[in-house]
Structure 1
Amino acid sequence: MTKPVIPPNAASGQQDALLTVTNLKKYFPIKGGVFNRVINHVKAVNDVSFSIKRGEVVGLVGESGSGKTTVGRTVLRLEEPTDGSIVFDGTDITRLSKPEMRRYRKRMQIVFQDPYASLNPREKIRTMLGHALAVHHIGRPEEREDRIVKLLEQVGLTGDYLDRFPHEFSGGQRQRIGIARALAVEPDFIVADEPVSALDVSIQAQVVNLLEDLKAEFNLTMLFIAHDLAVVEHISDRVIVMYLGRVMEIAPTRKLYRSPNHPYTKALLSAVPNPDARARPDRIILKGDIPSPINPPSGCVFRTRCPIAIPDCAKVIPVPTEVSPGHFSACIRTAPQGAALSTPELQDAP
């Protein structure tokens, strides 16, 4: 009997999901010609589905250009989705107006990749964190000073830093301030967009440990975006692997790192440094560069670099299919025999 395809968001227990993303697309128009008309689209996110349970940290990984950051920004409506739905705590926020969306800004926050660029260089830390509290009417004005000091202490800083400007801090300290700003409004959900990629390795570990501690203290739900699989393994409960705008694999962290199913995931993991030479998998070298999202390959978008691709890979778009409990993979070569594997190749219209 053929096993039906289970949508990848079922892997997280949709009934307890704080965030459910279904068939999300984000296309950026390319304009040109005499009349500056739309002549093509960058398909940054192309039919992505997943969900995140309350209190869960889900890692989102892939090479540069895979669409990770666009997913994070679109989920928060910092970018408007082209198609699909984003359900946050039971409400589809995809079509909400800007005034309606304002109610959810307090509950959904972001920690940016570049801690210096994300902070106003003309504002002292006292003013910066105070704005966040005032905009969302958190606490009385006379109480906010104490709340700001407490926020700094929660991220490993002290009240002595209140009257300093961003340029007076190290990179790691600035990222801690960015985290404090996100926490100031007491959010339910945080997108951490490569929050450690701009930091030294020793500082990366400190910031990741801080996020882990804050997750436990505040029961945070988080989408943790990164290209460093070693960092993602340390903090995530589950991992989503993306390539060229599509989901390749979703699995619990331990299962994905021990038994990856998709050839792209195997290639990424083979490149992770491992001090134990006996445990290090054979390095898989991917040929060529990631194709352009303006004109992605037909069928499986990974097929042009895949070491096990066959002609059928060019004809169908693989659907993420459950290969073991809670483990989904979009590959016609590695899915269980008899599983429903793919959908016909369709022309994606913006």
Structure 2
Amino acid sequence: MDHKNAQHKRRDVLLQVSNLKKYFPIRGGVLNRVVNNVKAVNGVSFNVLRGEVVGLVGESGSGKTTVGRTILRLEEPTSGTIDFDGTDIGKLAKPVMRRYRKRMQIVFQDPYASLNPREKIRTMLGHALAVHNIGTAADRDDRIVALLEQVGLSGDYLDRFPHEFSGGQRQRIGIARALAVEPEFIVADEPVSALDVSIQAQVVNLLDDLKSKFNLTMLFIAHDLAVVEHISDRVVVMYLGRIMEIAPTRTLYRAPNHPYTKALLSAVPSPDIHAKRDRVILTGDIPSPINPPSGCVFRTRCPIAIPDCAQIVPELKEVSPGQFSACIRTAP
């Protein structure tokens, strides 16, 4: 698509996702044959530039977490390409893919489930260093202490177990584990959604500081647009396995184009009590990814849908510099 070549030519592209699909087969019958598919990701294309944070947003069930996991090959892609620094890693054999694990890491959503409750922090972070041959056995404790201090924790915590920490502290440990192998690219999969509101801003600010300090490139997945605004350079909006809009953060929040983006933003509380914002109410639930609507997948909930929306699958088209929208009614 044209938008892939048009986006930010002045900077290097580290990650290029092209027509990515991830279907989960549904089996049934006596022979346990595939009878249908859950179309979790259905033709997604976007890029991430070096040193950039791209926010990936959408309601639950939009496919955003599956995109992140498929990029890292935690899920195998059904089709499409995942070009990381010039190599299509979606087609690499698993032994070869291991070499890229050091360069690509993930911060998981649930800080309670993502840490081994039976391992001390020293052991947990030490494993990450040992697997990728970082440092020597003699200096790993010093490296682990430095990692903890970088995420705002004390080196005195080395011999504690995960249950001895708060949720925010556990997420900081998860971030330290991701940073341990000195990655270039991090997928932050809803890293604050399981935390108290009072702690969320601290973790987002920490990730923002670490991004600048280590020149990290990041895909920040979230359903909360208020959180995404503060850390992202650009935002990708997903709905039911497809991309609805891509835009620089400032543009998206000031002048959203797609009706789905407008609906999401209309629900974000404004700090200005005098600000007037038209509330867009989406009726009904998000359809099943097993049998998504024909044409535009958003049409069944769209306030401006017309009959053509049931027949035409809209392509992402540039509607303003750097802003792309998949809507036959708003795109030129």
Aligned partners of 2:19 and 2:254: how far apart in 1?
Answer: 28
Would the aligned equivalents of 1:9 and 1:20 in 2 still touch at CA under 8 Å? no
- The residue identity in structure 2 corresponding to 1:308 is I
* 1:310 counterpart = 2:300: no
- Residue aligning to 1:248: 244
- Residue aligning to 1:344: none
Instruction: Give the CA RMSD over aligned residues.
Output: 1.0
- Residue aligning to 1:341: none
Task: For 1:1-350, list aligned pairs within 5 A.
Answer: 6-8=2-4, 10-13=6-9, 16-336=12-332
Would the aligned equivalents of 1:113 and 1:197 in 2 still touch at CA under 8 Å? yes
Would the aligned equivalents of 1:300 and 1:317 in 2 still touch at CA under 8 Å? yes
Aligned partners of 2:245 and 2:182: how far apart in 1?
Answer: 32
Aligned partners of 2:2 and 2:282: how far apart in 1?
Answer: 29
Aligned partners of 1:165 and 1:34: how far apart in 2?
Answer: 47
Structure-1-length-normalised TM-score: 0.93
Percent of aligned pairs with the same residue?
Answer: 83
Would the aligned equivalents of 1:22 and 1:48 in 2 still touch at CA under 8 Å? yes
Aligned partners of 1:335 and 1:14: how far apart in 2?
Answer: 25
- CA shift digits 1:88-134 (9 cap, x unpaired): 01111111000000000000000000011000000000000000000
Deviation at 1:279, TM superposition (A): 2.4
- The residue identity in structure 2 corresponding to 1:179 is I
Aligned partners of 1:22 and 1:71: how far apart in 2?
Answer: 12
Would the aligned equivalents of 1:9 and 1:21 in 2 still touch at CA under 8 Å? no
Q: Where in structure 2 are there 5+ consecutive unaligned residues? A: none
Deviation at 1:169, TM superposition (A): 0.2
Deviation at 1:140, TM superposition (A): 1.1
Deviation at 1:9, TM superposition (A): 6.1
Would the aligned equivalents of 1:8 and 1:250 in 2 still touch at CA under 8 Å? no
Deviation at 1:269, TM superposition (A): 0.1
SS in 2 for 1:266: helix
- The residue identity in structure 2 corresponding to 1:25 is K
- CA shift digits 1:302-322 (9 cap, x unpaired): 000000000000011000000
Aligned partners of 1:125 and 1:199: how far apart in 2?
Answer: 20
Aligned partners of 1:11 and 1:256: how far apart in 2?
Answer: 15
Q: Where in structure 1 are there 5+ consecutive unaligned residues? A: 337-350
SS in 2 for 1:7: helix
- The residue identity in structure 2 corresponding to 1:196 is V
Deviation at 1:8, TM superposition (A): 4.2
- CA shift digits 1:243-298 (9 cap, x unpaired): 00000000000000000000000000000011323324111000110000000000
Aligned partners of 2:4 and 2:303: how far apart in 1?
Answer: 25
Moved over 4 A (4+): none
Aligned partners of 2:5 and 2:197: how far apart in 1?
Answer: 33
Deviation at 1:335, TM superposition (A): 1.0
SS in 1 for 2:91: coil
